[in-house]
Structure 1
Amino acid sequence: MSIQTVTDLSRLCVHTITTRPWDIDTAVQQYAQAGVKGITVWRDALTGRDIRATGQMIRGQGLEIVSLCRGGFFPHTTAIGRQKAIDDNLLAIEEAALLGAPLVVLVCGADPAQPLEESRRQIYEGIAAVLPQAKAAGVKLAIEPMHPVYADTRSAINTLAQANDMAAAFNSPWLGVAVDVYHVWWDPALQEQIIRCGSNGHLLAFHICDWRVPTRHLLYDRGIMGEGCIPIRQIREWVESTGFTGFHEVEIFSDEYWAQDQHAFLQRIRDAYLAHG
């Protein structure tokens, strides 16, 4: 049976980092005019702003705030460093509550000066330290497993199975996982692990883009959907088979696209989403 493409923009969300050259006022206005229905706000876009008023502005343009990016980066070789990370995550939860974002995405972090197992232990301890505040604020946390190439500094959680295991260990309705196709498309256990997190209510977010061939930069060369080798429709079908009805969030880091006209870039994202999402 063929996999159906998306037919409208009702579940399209764009991350502010995707159109990085725009300030948040411009991004909100342009997303709304383009028919985008959701927005995930990156914390840098809120610097120096009245966060509560910014949330009101976003909703006033008809956009749903999907999540705040990003918390995490818990591991550190010193207790002082780990406490700074916990404090920053508590601040991210407060910012999400002020903005009206129901979710904070966690890029969990890693410290190359210590074994991955130790970084994973510190991630668990960091989440344990902030989860009560997330619950009190009514803000969920989503562990985002990252591609193994980022295991040095960005995350010691590198498979969806690892993220699922950690979420299961807490067994909290306030903690789940974010599935980003860029990070997990290669995983031979992907379908099984998507079904696992979806069946227990832990699937909280779904991010899309594409993996270019060849990839010229492991961080800043993501592609628009349809430009690369990720089976986006197949993964979306697995995600939606679990009952997930959330947004499809376009998260693209690209020096190439950031250097181009952002209006044209946003139009390409819309077209690619309808053709390949």
Structure 2
Amino acid sequence: MSGPIKDLSKLCIHTITTKPWSIEEAAEQYQKAGVKGISVWRNYLEGRNIVQTGEMLKNHGLKAVALVRGGFFPATTLGKRQLAITDNKKAVDEAAAVGAEMVVLVCGADPGQPLEVSRAQIQEGIEAVLPHAIENKVKLAIEPLHPMYADTRSAINTMAQANDMAEAINSDFVGVAADVYHLWWDPNLEAEIKRCGAHGNLLAFHICDWLSPTTDFLNDRGLMGEGCINIPLIRSWVEEAGFTGFNEVEIFSDRLWAGDQNEFLDKIVESYYHC
């Protein structure tokens, strides 16, 4: 098991984690706290000059790690699937403009059709967006989600499924985003992380914790160390697999959003040191 992290050089925070802050407020406060990376959710760019926003992040010493989120490819109608492809190309443009090297894909699902059909549509959607992503030098990171989200949020629910798809597409611009909240339960996780690393496909590592008991399966995530996920162990697996990127804190929490965000940020940094 890896020991405690001694610095913040690989700490990235998603803008959704400190949801009440604008991206300008987040950039200012992350810089003050010593955070070096920021993953930008698309809604934080609405109404802004995206290129100028990217420059603002750089001026605060922040690396734009990822744009979140693309995906949601499956649908029972061709028209909706085409709209999703168009929106994902727009997400690629936004990522390039803000200076992010990847778009995280929450791949989607449609409860009106079998999961196998949704998975095939996800692969077709990624392949349709891929030439535009390559042209803009933006990678596409498939994020497997916990099976409880298989109805509408994602038909990709394990690292094995994400690995299968990334390997089938076989592009340097397609890989996997591993989130401990969605994957910690998987008995094959260590082997699938190693497999992902062996193919050079591990693009992102997201961290938070699973509270027990949990009060909401979407918006009750915990700070690292508050729950039952062995984050240091999983982190050791991703590092052994060759991952050298940022540790991205992605927390959805009505409880934590309701509090003082500066105090919350202090707790993020403290828990990051320990986990």
User: So what's the TM-score if we normalise by structure 2?
Assistant: 0.99
Structure 1 residue 199: Cα displacement: 1.2
Identity %: 63
Matched with 2:64 is 65
Partner of 1:231: 230
Counterpart of 1:202, as a letter, is N
Match of 1:251 in 2: 250
* Structure 2 SS opposite 1:252: coil
Tell me the C-alpha RMSD between the 2 structures. 0.6
Alpha-carbon shift at residue 4 of structure 1 (Å) = 1.1
1:141-163 deviation digits (Å, cap 9, x = unpaired): 00000000000100000000000
Cα pair 2:31 2:61 within 8 Å, conserved: yes
- Does residue 75 of structure 2 align to residue 112 of structure 1? no
The 1-side partners of 2:254 and 2:152 are apart by 21
User: Corresponding residue for 2:182?
Assistant: 183
> Deviation string for 1:50-72 (max 9, x for gaps)?
00000000001101110000000
1:126-141 alignment, distance < 5 Å: 126-141=125-140
Structure-2 separation of matches of 1:3 and 1:80: 48
Tell me if the contact between 2:2 and 2:235 (Cα under 8 Å) persists in the aligned partners.
no
Amino acid at match of 2:78: A
CA shift at 1:5, angstroms?
A: 1.4
Residue aligning to 2:123: 124
The one-letter code matched in structure 1 to 2:224 is: M
Letter in 2 for 1:38: G
Q: In the TM superposition, what are the counterparts of 1:68-79 in structure 2 within 5 Å?
A: 68-79=67-78
Give the SS at the match of 2:113: coil
Counterpart in the other structure of 1:194: 193
Equivalent AA in structure 2 for residue 102 of structure 1: E
Partner Cα distance (1:230, 1:201) in 2: 25
**Alignment partners' CA distance in 1, 2:264 and 2:88:** 32
Which whole-Å CA distance do the structure 2 matches of 1:56 and 1:143 have between them? 27
Unmatched tracts of structure 1, length 5 or more: none
CA distance in 2, matches of 1:266, 1:152: 33
* Structure 2 runs not aligned, ≥5 long: none
One-letter code aligned to 1:133: H
**1:66-113 deviation digits (Å, cap 9, x = unpaired):** 000000000001111101100100000000011111000000000001
Distance 1:5 1:161 in 2: 29
Tell me how far 1:3 sits from its aligned partner. 2.8
Structure 1 residue matching 2:40: 3-state secondary structure: strand
- Give 1:46's aligned residue: 45
* Moved segments of 4+, more than 3 Å: none
Alignment partners' CA distance in 2, 1:228 and 1:61: 32
Q: Secondary structure at the match of 2:17?
A: helix
- The superposition leaves residues 119-144 of structure 1 with CA deviations (integer Å, 9 ceiling, x where unpaired) of 00110110010001000000000000
**Separation (CA, whole Å) in 1 of partners of 2:2 and 2:95:** 35
Amino acid across the alignment from 2:21: W
Q: Supply the AA of the counterpart residue of 1:145.
A: P
Structure 1 length-normalised TM: 0.99
| Per-residue CA distance 1:235-265 (angstroms, 9 max, x = gap) | 0000000121100000000001010000000
